[in-house]
Every structure is written in structure tokens, then in C-alpha cells.
Amino acid sequence: MTDLPQIPPQVRAKAPSRFTRAWDSDFAYQFRRSPVAIISFTVVLVLVLAAIFAPLIAPYDPFDPASLNLMNGFSKPMEPNAFTGDVFWLGTDDQGRDVFSTILYGLRISLFVGAAAVAFAMVLGITLGLLAGYVGGWVETIIMRVADVQLTFPAILVAMLIFGIAKGITPVEYRDQMAIWVLIVAIGLSDWVQFARVVRGATLVEKNKEYVQAARLIGRGSGAIMLRHILPNVLSPVLVIATISLALAIIAEATLSFLGVGAPPTQPSLGTLIRIGQGFLFSGEWWILLFPAATLLALALAVNLLGDWLRDALNPKLR
């Protein structure tokens, strides 16, 4: 039906710019209307930036033994040290390390391990979930049964098991360097299941839609269909899980480090700092424990709230 009226060009509205489109989108609108989202996003942003620029922000380098002065040990927050007169915002620990600086560096490790573990879990979970959902048959059976079995163990236990095995097979001299990477793999492996389950479920829905049939019909191969057609359409629930998983991964890392099986004292994460700090709690040096713990709490809470908000914002039924 070519006889439909052609719209003259001057009547058509100018195409909005990319920024205007993003700003006017439902998603941005929801974000602007939610104080919780704005606050938690700000908190996360500040902490992430602080972690990235830690070497620039931190007033001291807590891991340079040359710059440490044992005389500064156990300085109270905001008070001049009794011997040296130096002022530390958040106090120092027993070796005179600035707590504020150690938190910044610890945040770096915690965020890096958390994000890398989630990325690892995501790649693994999405790949296996897509395969299970799209291919079906015995591939699906094997993947999903392994997932079910793993789900019966608490994630932290699985992570400890993997960490323990890895520690057993790495030579002693590499242990501290490897610890971070082993931690990432351990947490990632203990966390892929939920990605795989969600992606599989969504794939089962998508693969029966007619556009996938149409793609099969025009002769696209299975790989192309999975990557180009199904994957983008199953990503929105994955995004939500990834955010919530990030909070869980950070906490899992802190837990492992607190238990002494995670980040080594030479590269302390927030969890390691909390472990070190709790030894001083009852002797009165509360700041060594409190500030790292408060940072971890703020980070985990903010990421979690952001994830919750994201889940609601991406679910059209809840609007």
C-alpha cells in the first residue's frame, strides 16, 4: 500500500539527541524520583571513586614500611599523637598505619575482588545457562544437576573448599600473590548457579518466541542465535542479580578474609582489616575495627539497595 500519505520532512520532529533520549527515558525518570536510588548510587559512586583513586587520596602509604613510625601507633581519631603530634583523621593501628589510608586501599581490594568474582560468575553462569536453555537434552541435565547439587551447600562453604584446595596446590612462595585471584575464582565459582538458573529460565521463554524461530528459519546458526538474539533479551534480570551478587560477593570476600582464609595481611581487604581490628576492640582501640566495618556496611547496603531498586525499575509489573 504505497498510497499512504508521505509525511513532509518539515512536519517531522527533530530526532532527539542520545542524551535527551536517555534523560527522558522511563529508567532515568524512575531514578530521579527515587531518593533511595539517588543516595545509594551516590554512596557507591563515592566509594568506587575513592577506591580507584586511593593512591592519590590517601594521606599515607600504609604499605610502605619506610613511612611508618611505630611511635604513631594507636593514635586516636582526630587527636594529635602523644609522641609525635601527628593528627590522623581516623586514628592509627598498632603499627602506626593510618586507618583512613588502609580503608581506602582495603576498599580497592574488596571492590576489585567483588566485581571480578561477579564478572567471572556472570560469564560462567550466562554461558552455561544459555547452553542449558537453548540446547536442552543431556547438556541441560548435566549443567542443571551440577547447579542443584552446588546449591545445597552454602556458598561460603563452597568458596572455602575451593580456596583450601587452591591453597594446597600453590607453592608457598606464591601464596600471597595468588590469594586474590584464588579468592575471585572461589567466590565466582560459588556464585554462578543463580545466573545459570535465571538465564536458562529466560532462554526457555525466549527460544520459543517466533523471532527466534524466524532466525532459525533464515538459517542463522545456533551460536549466532544465542549471542545475537537470545542473550540481549535475557540480560535485564541478569543485571539485577549481578548488582545484588556484588553486595554478596563483597560480603563473602570479607567473611573469608575475616576467617583468615582470604586476602593476606600484606594486601588487606576490608575483611582483613576487620579481623585485625577486632583484636583491639576490648582493649579500647575501637576505631581500628569500627571504621573499616562501617565502610563495609555502607558499601554492602548501598549496593544492595541499588540492586533492589533496579529490580523494581526493570520490572514493568511493579510500576
Q: Which positions touch other proteins (CB under 8 A)? A: 1-7, 12, 209-211, 213-221, 228-229, 232-233
Least separation in angstroms between residue 130's CB and other proteins is 15
Closest to other proteins by CB, 206 vs 253, is 206
CA 248/CA 169 separation, integer angstroms: 27
| Closest among 261, 249, 250, 257 to 295, alpha carbons compared | 250
* CA dihedral over 65, 70, 76, 82, signed as positive or negative: negative
Type of residue at 37:
A
98 - beta bridge partners? 92
Q: Which three cell numbers stand for residue 186?
A: 572461589
β-partners of residue 273 are: none
Cβ distance to other proteins smaller for residue 108 or 229: 229
The whole-angstrom separation of Cα 125 and Cα 235 is 12
Which CB atom, from 141 or from 283, has the smaller least distance to other proteins? 141
Residue in the structure block whose three cell numbers are 604513631: 72
Instruction: For other proteins, give the closer residue by CB, 135 or 301.
Output: 135
Distance CA 237, CA 248 (A): 17
- Nearest CA to 199 out of 210, 188, 189, 207 is that of 207
**What is the closest distance, in whole angstroms, from the C-beta atom of residue 211 to other proteins in the complex?**
4
Residue 92 β-bridge partners:
98
Query: What span, in angstroms and rounded, lies between the C-alpha atoms of 246 and 187?
Result: 11
Q: How many residues does the chain have?
A: 319
The CA distances from residue 171 to 102, 160, 179, in Å, are: 28, 18, 12
Contact 113, 181 (CB under 8 A): no
CB of 231 to other proteins, least distance (A): 10
**CB of residue 215 to other proteins, shortest distance in Å:** 8
Nearer to other proteins, 19 or 282 (CB): 19
CB of 140 to other proteins, least distance (A): 13
Say whether 87 sits in a helix, a strand or coil: strand
Considering the complex, what minimum distance in angstroms separates the CB of residue 233 from other proteins?
Answer: 6
To other proteins, the closest distance from the beta carbon of 142 in angstroms equals 18
Kindly tell me which of 109 and 240 has the beta carbon lying closer to other proteins: 240
Q: Name which of 98 and 206 has its Cβ closer to other proteins.
A: 206
Nearer to other proteins, 152 or 319 (CB): 319
Beta bridge partners of 80: 87
- Give least dist CB 209 to other proteins, A: 4
Nearest residue (CB) to other proteins, 17 versus 152 = 17
Q: How far is the CB of 118 from other proteins (least distance, A)?
A: 23
The sign one gets for the Cα dihedral 197, 199, 200, 205 is positive
